[in-house]
Each structure stands twice: as structure tokens, then as C-alpha cells.
Amino acid sequence: MAEKLLKGGEYLITETGCEDVFTPEDFSDEQKQFAETTEQFVTNEILPHIEEIDKQNFDLVVEGMQKCGELGLLMMDVPEEYGGLELDKASSMLVAERISVSGSFSVAYSAHTGIGTLPLVYYGTHEQKEKYLEKIISGEWCSAYCLTEPGSGSDALGAQASAVLSEDGSHYILNGTKQFITNGGFAEIFTVFAKIDKEHFTAFLVEKSFSGLVIGSEEKKLGIKGSSTTQVILDNCRVPVENVLGEIGKGHKIAFNVLNVGRFKLGAAVTGAAKAALETGVKYANERVQFKRKISSFGAIKEKIADLTADLFASESLIYRLAGLLDDKIATIEKDVDDYYVQYQKGIEEYAAECGISKVFCSEVLARTVDEVLQIHGGYGYVSEYPAERYYRDERINRIFEGTNEINRLLIPGMILRKAMKGELPLQAEAMKAFESLMTPSFEDLDESIAFASEKVLLKNLKTLFLILAGTGVQKFMDKIADEQEILMAAADIAIQIFALESTVLRAEKSFSGFSERKQELVKAAVKVFAFNASETAGTAARKGAFYIEEGDTLTMILSGVRRFSKFDATGLLVAKRLLADAASEEEKYIFN
């Protein structure tokens, strides 16, 4: 457990010691065993049938879910009291990462174990858990989550589905249509959100067998074709009053808190998918010969492989750092208290911004990866006989799932600024210091005796840059800053790069001494490559934000600060990229597993 537990968003204004982060190198033997079990399951039970699954043979999906139940892969987050394993978040994320290579099946799995199960775990009564959890964690029943409607996606509280108490007071009568419901075609239990008396947003546990529940036809989708996506139509659907989930009128708590975990879990899943795609791309680059040379020997291909490898190192570092933060926070909560899950949810909500960051950053790493892997394949990447084509189609949904990346980019700085306004983070005082640094010339010398000294200076400077931009925006727009979406999104891009880069540097520093000399060189290369890319991304976002906010002399001063604080000495960058690419080509996989 970390010696000092950071608050959510606090990473922007403080330094973290490498001993306070959890990394993939910290996995226990038990966690590694879960990963191995998951890999064997996917290899033996899913991948041989992946084409049939993509043709919507849902019997294979249901059968696979039942086998997951037998292996204990559906009960990771469920209390032992109800037959679950109640494992830490790091273990849960590791399984999500390793199952992600199963394509569409992983979508069904993630929906079932995440948004399909967690509302009941967190908010269900003892009787509800006794009735349903055993069926869910065994795979006897698949589960689904019904929030989105034809007219309300990101605006979840704009839902129109209604619920009215029956005359005898025994049932709620639900009416409305839910859209894009994953597992809709074969789920037996649904968490459905509706407004009681068109006002009180509430969650309900709805069985498929309840009268008035109608499953729509399968959507014809661009990707994830082997997952079931349907409408769920509520036509005077009768739901017993004892199936209200949580408190009446408090459905928004369930919806939003469960999505925090969903975003985090998605970050792990897309990281695993990106590793698989990269492996496919590298193997193809080694097989494909042009101009009498393997294309993996060309600099243009090497650069792609190197950038993707560095991105993945950062993505993996970020995910498991966040897993450690959540596990450490949850560990501070007493288990035998009546409001355990209330405190548990508050613990997860503390890191809502970081959950959003993991979703955005990792899904965009996957997007770049599948795009470049298809490009490495050339024309063959466009042919469905090659897996690059499926990777490309399947990826696209991840930037929409669990709240679009645009919505998450707005939420990230929004949640951090709200903490500041509540006095939970001293952002205003730190922003003032950052402004002062604009007036102060920098004579900072690098202490080469410090590991990753250049990257640590860059981190410190990017934090200053975020504070300058956020402080300037708040000073100018005050409480109207929430309406300035372009500014918030620019600030989010800086905050995202800071968390990713810091996670990368801290992982490298913590694990460095345990690596072989060759792996140490590879880690240094990955950190350098990612730091350069992060400095460029954050610098571009900061320049854009400065032009959005200011003009005249103040703009000139801030732009001068942007140049200064996003500067990074990437001497040896080409050597680092070639080192990473050559190692990946030699091993034909993601080299830091």
C-alpha cells in the first residue's frame, strides 16, 4: 500500500514517489495465474470460434460465458458472501486486459462483469443479491445494462422511459425504449433506468421473463459484429416493487458511479487489444518482403512500431497505477460497516477524473495502433481474411463506449476544477505560483545522477503549464468556464498527458533495477520516445488553449511560457526508436510483457 495516498486530481500539483505506485512488475503469483487462466481460456475456447461468433452465433457466446463462470472469471468483483472472489482491482483489470483479444466476445464479457453486475453488487439489497448474483456469476444468466435511449445518450438524465406504480402497489409499470443494449439478445436480467412519475430517475432489476419486456432486432454494426446489440422495449412492463435497485430518485448515482469503473475497465481492455494488434503488425512486417527486404527493416515502419510500443508502455503504466490507487483507497474502508458500499463508491468517485483519463488515453492508443497495423499490412489490411481488418472495425466503438471521449474530456478538468472550488485541491494557490514562474527566468540545471531527470523536469513543467492554462481560463470566465468546452478539452489533453507520462516515468524508475541491462536500455528508450510525444501533444493543446483564452501582451507572455514549459531535450530519439523497433521485431510481440 502506498505510503501517501493521493487525492483524485492531486497528481497535477504534487510529486509522487515511485514507491507509491503499483506497476505490472508488482503482480503477485496469484494475479499472474489469473492472467494465464484467462489467456488459456481465450486461446482454447474462443479464438477457434471467432469467425462463427462474428456471424452472431450467440449460442457460442453464451456457452463461453458459462465456461467463464466455471473458471471463476465472472466473480472477480463479487463479495465472497455471495459466492464471489472479491479480488482487488489490479486482478480484475488484468483479466479484462487478457480477455480483450477475444474480439466481440470480450464486449459481452465486459458488459456482463462490469455494468451488468456491479449495479447489483454496489446497490442491491441482501434479498436481491441472494436471488440473482449466483446465476450471474455462474454464467447461467447473462446480464445487461439499459441506460441509453434513442433520444438520450451522453445526456443520460434526459431519459424518457417512465415508471408508474400499479393501483395495487405491487408493481411498477415501465414504458419506453432503450437503445444500443449490449447482450440485449441473450441477457436474462437487465438493469433498467426509468423515471417514476416522469420525475424520479430510478433503477430497476428487470427479468427477461417479465411481461411487457420486448427485445428488438439485432443492430447491423460497423464492428464488434459478434456482440449482441438491440433495443429493449418496455411495453407496460410489470416489475415487482421489490426489484427497485437502490433508492427511488437516486438512479443517477448508480448510472454515473458504475460508469467510472466501466471507463477504467475499458482502459484495461483496449490496452490488451492494442498489444494483440501490435503483435499481428510486427509479425506481418517480418513476413512481408518489398525491394528484397523485410519491411520491418525500413525506417518508416520501424518508427510506427517504436511509437506504438512506447504508447503501450505508457498505457499499461497508467492503467495499473490507477488500479493501485483504487485498491489502496478501498483498503482504507472498514469491511464490516453498514455503509461499506456507499464509502466504496465514494472511494472510486474520488478518482473519477483519472478513470476518465484511462478511458480516453488508452482507447486512443488502441485507435492509433490498429490504424498503423492496418497501414503496415497495406492493401491486405483492407481484406477481411487478415485480422488487421477486424481490429480496425472493432476498435472504433471504444471511443464512444462508456461516455464519448469528448464527454470524458469535458468531465476531466470539470471534476478537477470542482474539487478546487470546494477547497479539496489548492489549485488556485498553485496557479498563482505558476503565473509567477512566467516572470522568472529558468536556470534549472539537470542533475544527471537522478534517474529520468529530463523527463521529470518535463513533468514538472507540464504541470505548471496546466495550472497556467486552467488558472487563466477560470480567472477570465469564472463559473461560466463550464460553457467553454474548447478550453476545457485543451486543458484535458494536457492533464491526460501529464498523468500518462508521470505513470510511465514512475513505473520505469521503480522497476528499473530489477531489469536486465538490455531491458533497462529498452525502458529508457520507451520513456524517451513517449516523453517526446507527450511534450508535443501537451504543447499543441496549450498553444491552442492560450489562443482561445487570451490576446495581446498576456497571450504573448503565455505563449512564451508554452514554448518554455513544453520543451524537452530528446537527444538520441532516433536511436531510441530504432532500438525499440528492432527489439519488437526480434521478439514479434509487445516487448514489456
93 Cα distance to chain centroid: 10
DSSP β-bridge partners for residue 204: 192, 244
Residue 556: CB atoms within 10 Å = 12
| Residue 543 CB partners (closer than 8 Å, separation 6+) | 559, 562
Residues 119, 125, 128, 129, Cα dihedral to 10°: 70
The one catalytic residue in 279, 316, 402, 455 is: 402
The answer to whether the beta carbons of residues 581 and 305 sit under 8 Å apart is yes
Give the C-alpha distances (Å, rounded to integers) separating 395 from 212, 335, 337, 374, 588: 35, 38, 41, 12, 22
CA atoms within 13 A on the CB side of 414: 16
Active-site residue flag, 402: yes
How buried is 250 (Cβ within 10 angstroms: 0-12 exposed, 13-18 middle, 19+ buried)?
middle
Q: 3-class DSSP state for residue 235?
A: strand
Residue 78: CB atoms within 10 Å = 23
| Residue 577 CB partners (closer than 8 Å, separation 6+) | 302, 303, 306, 307, 525, 529
Q: For residues 83 and 100, give the distance between their C-alpha atoms in angstroms, rounded to a whole number.
A: 25
Q: Which residues are catalytically annotated?
A: 402
